[in-house]
């Protein structure tokens, strides 16, 4: 009976860990989902990503791209603020964490704006 209970406890802990991991992935999904609408402007060199987790219009970007970037950034800001409250850390710290993940996931050729103000292409 003792062995059955230990097995049940281990299975329960594993289940909870799986659920917690899935929740983290789902929680991160909104920020990464915003990458899709920016794919075309990034490929055209009209949009880039900043070091702080926000998208940025490149010089000469048309007004519709700038409006798209503003919408994406508003959604990101809301996500970063929510995550910051949950974690008890500043929102800019959350933004920088997401920035690193975004930079990893964007396609080659995407423009990235560093904290030093310099543009580089991935």
* Residue pLDDT, tens place only, 39-63: 999 999 999 999 999 999 999 999 9
Confidence tier at 36 by pLDDT (50, 70, 90): confident
Radius of gyration of the chain from Cα atoms? 19
Higher-confidence position of 32 and 102: 102
* 2 has a pLDDT exceeding 60: no
* Residue pLDDT, tens place only, 64-116: 999 999 999 999 999 999 999 999 999 999 999 999 999 999 999 999 999 99
CA–CA distance from 95 to each of 5, 6, 29, 64, 98 (Å)? 43, 41, 14, 24, 5
Q: What is the pTM of this model?
A: 0.71
Q: What is the dihedral of CA 107, 109, 114, 116, to 10 degrees?
A: 170
Phi, psi of 12 (to 5 degrees): -65, -45
* 35 has a pLDDT exceeding 50: yes
């Amino acid at each position: 009976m003792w062995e059955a209970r230990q097995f049940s406890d281990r299975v329960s802990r594993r289940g909870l860990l799986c659920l917690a991991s899935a929740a983290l992935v789902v929680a991160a999904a909104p920020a990464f989902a915003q990458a899709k609408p920016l794919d075309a402007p990034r490929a055209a060199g009209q949009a880039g990503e900043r070091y702080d987790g926000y998208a940025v219009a490149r010089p000469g970007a048309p007004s519709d791209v700038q409006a798209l970037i503003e919408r994406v950034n508003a959604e990101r800001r809301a996500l970063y603020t929510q995550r910051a409250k949950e974690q008890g850390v500043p929102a800019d710290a959350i933004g920088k964490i997401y920035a690193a993940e975004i930079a990893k996931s964007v396609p080659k050729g995407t423009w990235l704006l560093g904290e030093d103000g310099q543009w580089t292409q991935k």
